[in-house]
Chain A
Amino acid sequence: MTSLRAETSVADLPTVTFGQRSLMWWGTLGFMVIEGWTLALLLVSYLYLRQSVIQWPPAPSQSPALLMPSITLALMALSVVPAVVVARAGGRLDAPAVKRWLVAHSLIGVAILILRWWDVQSLGVRWDANAYGTAVWMIVGFHTSLLLLDVLDTLGLTLCFFVRRQPVKSFSDAADNSVYWYFTVGIWLPVYLIAYVGPRVI
C-alpha cells in the first residue's frame, strides 16, 4: 500500500446543507425527472391516440367538466405560498414558522385531494369506455397518485415536527418537500391544458 500524506482537512465543513449542496435535493430532483417523464409519456400517448379519430372526445364521451380542475388549479397556485414560506423558514431554522406553515400546506393539500375526488367524477367518460377515457383517467390518476404521495409526505413531515424533536437536517428535508410540491403543482398545468382544455380546442 502506498503511504499517505495529509494535504488538507475537511473538519470545518458543514454537516447540514440546503438546496443543491444537499444529497437529498439531488435525489428529489432525480425522482421528479422520472415521474415527470412518465407523465409526459402518458400525455404524448394521449395526443398520439387523438390523431387516429375525427371526433375528440369520441361520442358518446363528453369533454371533462372544467369547474373542479380550475378550482384545483387556483388552489394549487395558492398552495405554493405556504410551500415557499416553509422552505424559507426551514432555511432560517425557524421551527415555529415551519410547523405553522406545514400545517397550512397540509390542509390545502388535503383540500386539493378532496376536490380531486369530485373532479374524477366529472370526467365525462368511464376509463373502460374507449381509448380516450382510458388516457384521461390514467393521466389524471397518475397525477393524483403523485399528489397523494406528496400530501402524505407533507402530513408525515408535519407529524414528525410536532411529536418529536427534529434533527437540524429535517429543516433541509422540509425545504426539499417544498421543491417537490412545486413540481407536483407545475406538472398539473400541462395536464390541465391537454386533458381538460385540450378536448375543446384540438
Chain B
Amino acid sequence: MSALGNSTIDGGALAPEAVAQNAGALERTWSTKPGVWAWVCTVDHKVIGRRYVITAFAMFLAGGIEAALMRAQLARPENGFLGADRYNQIFTTHGTTMMFLFAVPMMTAMGLYFVPLMIGARSVAFPRLNAFGYWTYLVGIGLLYVALLTNHAPDTGWFAYVPLSETLYAPGHRVDVWAQLVTFTEIAALCAAVNIIVTVFKMRAPGMSVNRIPLFVWAQLVVAFMIVFAMPAVAAGSTLMLAADRAIHMQWFIPARGGDVLLWQHIFWFFGHPEVYIIFLPALGMVTPIVETFCRRPVVGYGAIVMANIATAFFAFGLWVHHMFATPLPELGDSLFTAASLVIAIPSAVQIFCWIATMWTGRPRLTVPMLFVLGFLFTFINGGITGVMLASVPFDRQAHDTFFVVAHLHYVLLGGGVMPLFAGLYFWFPKFTGRLLRNGLGKWHFWLFLIGVNVTFFPMHILGLDGMPRRIYTYLASTGWGPLNLLSSLGAATIAISVIIFLVNVVLSWRGGAVAGPNPWGASGLEWATASPPPPYNFAYPLIVSSAHPLWDAHAALPVATGLRTDRREVLTTTTFDARPDARHSSPRESIWPFYLALCMGVVFIGSIFRPYWVLIGTALSLAGLFGWGWQSTRPIERERIALPNGALVERT
C-alpha cells in the first residue's frame, strides 16, 4: 500500500484487507487527537456539525422554556406571574433565539454535517472557516444569555423596530446586545453558506452531475445562495445602521435629521422574509429522502422539485413588503407584493404534490419519520392557507398585529420547519450516533407534538380574529379571551411533554439503542454507503456515481476511485457541472486560530457596546489572528503537481 492508497487499478474488486489497510492509514491522518486542545482545534465537519446540532437544539429548548413562561403568563387574565418588563425580555429572547439561534443554525448545521456525506466528499471545502463559524455562533449565544440572566436582555421584539429600538425609547444596552448578537449569528451563517456552495460546486463525487445531486443537497445549495443575499441585509441593518445610530449618533432612522424609520423595516424584512424560506427549504429537502426511502421508490418530479426550490428562493426576495402592508406605502406596491405572496404558494404546492404522488405510487411504511412527514403536510398546509389569507391587503390590515399572525407563523415554522426536522433527526440519528431511536417513544413524541401544536396555535386564530393583540403581557378578564388562552397554554404544556419524551428517547437510544449498521432503512443516498457514525475520513475511497440513487442502482460492488493520499489530508475536487475528477487539494489540519479569531471578534462586537476602545483592541487582536491563520497555511510541504493557468502540468517542491 502506497501513500497514494491503491494507485494500481485492476478494474476489479478491492481486496477487503487492502481496504482495511487504507482505512487504517486514513484514520491516523484524519482523526482528531484526544484532549481539550484538540477538541477546541478540531476542523472535522462531522464533529462541528454535531456540535452545531446539539447547540442549536439546546437553543430550541431554551426558546421553548421561554415560550412556556409566556404561556404561563397568558394562561389567565390580569396575571402577575412575569410582569411587563420580564415578559418583554422573554418574548424578545424567545423570538431571537428561535429565529437566529435555533432555526437557521440548525438547518445549516444539518447541511454542514450531511452535505459532504451525501456528495461523497471527505470534508467541507473550508474546514477552518467552518470551525470559525461555530465558535462565532457560540459567542453570540453567550452574549444573549448572559444578558438575559443579568436582566439586560433585549426587550423590543426580535424585529427591533425603530424608533422603539433607538436610544430615545430604549436607553441602556439591551438593544445593543440584540444588534451585535444578530451580527454574530449572521457571520456564522455566511461562513456556512460559502462553505456549502463551494463544497457542492467543487467536491461532489465523480459522476454526480447536477441532475444527480440529492434533493437535500439542492435545498442546502439554494438556501446557501439565499443566505449570501439575505444575511448581509440584517448584518448591515443591525450593526452598520442600528448599532451605529445608538453608539455614535448616526442618523439612519431619526426622522428629525432626515432619517427614515421605514428604511429599517425594508432592510429587516428584506432579510426577514427570505429567512422563513431559509428555514423551510432545508426542511423540505429532508422530506424527500424520507418519502423516497419509506415509499421504496424515487421521488416523482425530481426536476420539478429542483425548479420549485429555485423559484421559492427567487420569489422569497420579492415579498418582504407584505410585512409592511399596514405602513403607508403606495397602493401599487401593495398589489405587486400581494401577487408575489400568492405566487410563492405555487412552488410549495408543486413539492407537496410530488410527495403525494410518490406516496400514492409507492408502498409507504408508517415509520416515525414518515409520521412526522405526514404531520408536516397537515400542519404546513394549514399555515400556508392562512399565509395566503394574510397576503390579501384588506384582510392583513384587519389581522395585523393580532394573534392570528402569531398562529400563522407558528403553524408555518413548526409545521414547515420543526416537524420535518424531527423527521430528519429520527431518520439520520443512526448517522450521528450509530444507533436507532426507539420506535414506541417516537410515536408518543409524534402524536403529543401534533396534538400540542394544534391545541396551542389553532385557538390563536380565533383570538386574533376576536381582536387580541400580539406582544401584550396581559389582558382584562372582560375581554373573554381567558378560556382560549388557557387552552393554548395547555397545548404548550403538551408540546413540552412531547419534547421531553424525545429527549428521553435520545438519551436512552444513544446509550443503548439498537445498533443501526451502515444503512438501516435501505436508503439510496451516499451517506448510507459508509459506517454509522462515519469515520473521520467519511469514505475510504471517493465513490463514483452513475445515477441519482447510487445505492439502489449499484448491483454487485460500488465503483470507487483510488489514488488519493493517505498520509496527508487530501480531498478530491471535480468540475462544477458534470463532476469529472479535476484536482487533489490539501485539507487543513486542526487549528487554534478559528477559535482565537472568534473570541477576538467577540471583543470587537461586545466591547463596542460598552467602551469604543475595545473595538480597537479587538481589531488589533483579530488582525494578529488573521495573520496567524494565514501564516499557518504557508508551511512548505513536498513535491506538488501544479496545473498552471496555461494548461501545462509541472512538478515542483
Contact = CB atoms under 8 A, between A and B. Distances in A.
Chain B binding surface, main DSSP class? mixed
A6 B259 CA distance: 65
Contact of A93 (B198, B266, B583, B644): B644
Contact of A38 (B13, B235, B637): B235
B240 A42 contact: yes
Interface in B583-598: 583-586
Nearest to A30: B194
Interface residues of B, number: 97
Contacts, number: 245
Given A4-B540, A16-B643, A27-B129, A130 B635 contact: no
B296 interface: no
A17 B643 CA distance: 5
Contact of B645 (A2, A18, A130): A18
B198 A26 contact: yes
Interface string B282-321: 0000000000000000000000000000000000000000
Nearest to A159: B627
A4 B645 contact: no
A187 interface: no
Contact of A130 (B11, B257, B266): B257
Given A3-B13, A7-B9, A52-B260, A138 B563 contact: no
Point out which of B581, B583, B633, B637 has the most chain A C-beta atoms below 10 A from its C-beta: B583
B643 A23 contact: no
A53 interface: yes
B165 to A, nearest CB: 16
Contacts of B562: 6, 8-11
A21 B634 contact: no
A19 B197 CA distance: 16
Nearest to B196: A30
B632 to A, nearest CB: 11
Contacts of A128: 248-251
Contact of B560 (A6, A52, A137): A6
A41 interface: yes
Greatest chain B CB density within 10 A among A7, A33, A138, A167 is at A7
State which size class the interface on A falls in: 35 or more
A15 B563 contact: no
B646 to A, nearest CB: 7
Interface in B532-559: 540-542, 544, 551, 554, 556-559
A194 B125 CA distance: 37
Contacts of A8: 9, 206, 544, 561-562, 581
Nearest to A61: B258
A49 B259 contact: yes
A7 B556 CA distance: 13
Given A6-B11, A53-B258, A156-B627, A27 B554 contact: no
B649 interface: yes
Interface in A104-149: 127-135, 137-138, 142
A26 B594 CA distance: 20
B642 interface: yes
A45 B540 contact: no
Interface stretch (B54-62, B225-233, B442-450, B471-479): B225-233
A58 B544 CA distance: 64
Nearest to B254: A131
Contact of B263 (A49, A127, A166): A49
B186 to A, nearest CB: 10
A13 B584 contact: yes
B634 A160 contact: yes
Most A-side CB within 10 Å, residue of B10, B12, B241, B646: B241
A21 B583 contact: yes
A23 B126 contact: yes
Contacts of A16: 640-643
Nearest to B16: A3
**Which of A10, A91, A156 is most buried by chain B, counting CB atoms within 10 A of its CB?**
A10
B252 A131 contact: yes
Contacts of B233: 41
B556 to A, nearest CB: 7
Contact of B563 (A11, A42, A58): A11
B251 A166 contact: no
B202 interface: yes
Given A13-B583, A38-B236, A160-B630, A7 B194 contact: no
B514 interface: no
Given A3-B556, A8-B206, A16-B642, A138 B240 contact: yes
B573 interface: yes
Given A18-B645, A37-B228, A167-B634, A10 B190 contact: no
A3 B206 contact: no
Given A7-B561, A9-B562, A30-B228, A138 B531 contact: no
Given A16-B640, A131-B257, A34 B13 contact: no
Contact of B641 (A15, A23, A138): A15
A169 B640 contact: yes
B652 A142 contact: no
B460 interface: no
Contacts of B395: none
A15 B197 contact: no
Nearest to B572: A10
Given A10-B561, A34-B232, A52-B258, A27 B126 contact: yes
Given A49-B259, A127-B249, 8 more contacts: A8-B206, A9-B561, A14-B641, A33-B228, A41-B232, A92-B644, A152-B623, A169-B586
22 contacts: A2-B557, A2-B558, A3-B557, A5-B12, A5-B13, A5-B557, A6-B14, A6-B560, A8-B9, A11-B4, A11-B562, A14-B641, A15-B583, A15-B584, A18-B644, A34-B228, A41-B270, A130-B257, A134-B250, A167-B634, A168-B652, A168-B653
Interface of B: 4, 6-14, 16, 19, 125-126, 129, 190, 193-194, 197-198, 201-202, 206, 228-229, 231-233, 235-236, 240-241, 244-245, 248-252, 254, 257-260, 263, 266-267, 270, 518, 529, 531, 540-542, 544, 551, 554, 556-564, 570, 572-573, 576, 581-586, 623, 626-627, 630-631, 633-637, 640-646, 649-650, 652-653
